[in-house]
Structure 1
């Protein structure tokens, strides 16, 4: 069968780094205590990676660009009818991708201003009112179960497609996809060095904004005169 390039290297690296960062964040939050410091670091890594993905969804190669796989009603209907043709994410897979990006993004953003009042405070907590921090802390905890559900459905879908003979993991490792005899498709194009530098620059900007290094340090407490 003919092999065609579908996923570029930056996209594949993003995918597996995101898997590692999410697993790290989930493990450390369960450990609690001093591990919460790493929970915050993993959460920041998730946000930076998502920043890169947002930029790469505009600047990347063919099948990495959001407009090529956005799940429009027409594409969803065609897929359900069995008439959809494509190399990248199918319309149902695209729904999963956008749902995961949205939920991971919300978890990471809310974590920036969250606090457990014991071992963790987000890097931007000093930039928001305490009521807003409390609200985001509550929602950060509440949406954790939704994250497990979406990730579980994502893994289940990969397993189901594998049983049907469609290996989704292989292309995300080596970047190539096999075409059925007679199936015509163009390989992924675009996403060169300039696009990569711009996407990395945007990710660096996200890190700077999310790290809170731009927030002025609090004024030192007044000293108590010695008598």
Structure 2
């Protein structure tokens, strides 16, 4: 029997742009740590610029996560320990309910990714390779602390790769369950055979004004870092 599929507008255009711009920036950032210069003449400089862009994107997402549309807000998809435990138990029993936004585990994965990315990008501001690159905040905390941050920066890059891998596994698992998250992050629409448990009314009053303000703040900080006079 064919069920009618319910369409829910979940992720607004700003969330989707943030997501795909972040994917590109993170990919460039990782690539420039492995390349010998192809196609970039100074990979470390491109690596730093990708980091500045990531900082700008993260600032926008944090602001949008507080002031943005309903499903963009952290309060919509970050659940407490009890709800997360209940969902996890249901997931292992293959009885997990469907969510319009991120499910409890997915919400915490978003938080962990944002925290790891934030540390990675911000710690890079304090680093120097003593040859081609010196971060805009290098020396502010002293050479010893910068050295410690360099070690943590390298370690966190491995943590970040693990988190990204887990995120991709989650996307595949959802796809196997008939939920195409990649398409939803392109169109903003998710489709369900029954109403998701977290369905909410969306309110868009002044959201475009908030988005503009968040963009200007993020772009200002990103621009300052990008054009910082080393």
Which TM-score band (shorter chain)?
A: 0.7 to 0.9
Query: Which one of the candidate residues 133, 155, 168 is aligned to 2:181?
Result: 168
Match of residue 129 from structure 1 = 142
Deviation at 1:129, TM superposition (A): 1.6
Deviations 1:10-37 (A, max 9, x none): 0000000000000000001111562111
Please say if residues 10 and 101 of structure 2, whose CA atoms lie closer than 8 Å, have aligned partners that are also in contact.
yes
1:27 aligns with 2:31: yes
Structure 1: give runs of 5+ residues left out of the alignment.
Answer: 218-227
Query: Which one of the candidate residues 66, 75, 82 is aligned to 2:74?
Result: 66
Q: Mean Cα displacement is larger for which, 144-153 or 127-136?
A: 127-136
1:48 aligns with 2:63: no
Deviation at 1:78, TM superposition (A): 3.2
Larger Cα-atom Rg: 1
Query: Which one of the candidate residues 11, 15, 29 is aligned to 1:11?
Result: 15
Query: Which one of the candidate residues 193, 210, 224 is aligned to 1:180?
Result: 193
In 2 relative to 1, CA 71–183 (structure 1 residues): closer, same or farther, beyond 3 Å? closer
Please say if residues 12 and 172 of structure 1, whose CA atoms lie closer than 8 Å, have aligned partners that are also in contact.
yes
Match of residue 113 from structure 1 = 126
Structure 2: give runs of 5+ residues left out of the alignment.
Answer: none
SS in 1 for 2:7: strand
Q: 1:199-214 to 2 correspondence within 5 Å? A: 199-207=214-222, 210-211=225-226, 213=228
Please say if residues 64 and 73 of structure 2, whose CA atoms lie closer than 8 Å, have aligned partners that are also in contact.
yes
Normalised by the length of structure 1, the TM-score is 0.86
Q: Give the RMSD, CA atoms, in angstroms.
A: 2.2
Please say if residues 59 and 199 of structure 1, whose CA atoms lie closer than 8 Å, have aligned partners that are also in contact.
no
Deviation at 1:112, TM superposition (A): 0.5
What is the rounded CA distance, in whole Å, between the counterparts of 2:176 and 2:98 in structure 1?
Answer: 20
Query: Which one of the candidate residues 39, 50, 57 is aligned to 2:65?
Result: 57
Deviations 1:106-136 (A, max 9, x none): 0000001112223322122143322221111
Normalised by the length of structure 2, the TM-score is 0.85
What is the rounded CA distance, in whole Å, between the counterparts of 2:196 and 2:65 in structure 1?
Answer: 26
What is the rounded CA distance, in whole Å, between the counterparts of 1:181 and 1:155 in structure 2?
Answer: 25
Please say if residues 78 and 84 of structure 1, whose CA atoms lie closer than 8 Å, have aligned partners that are also in contact.
no
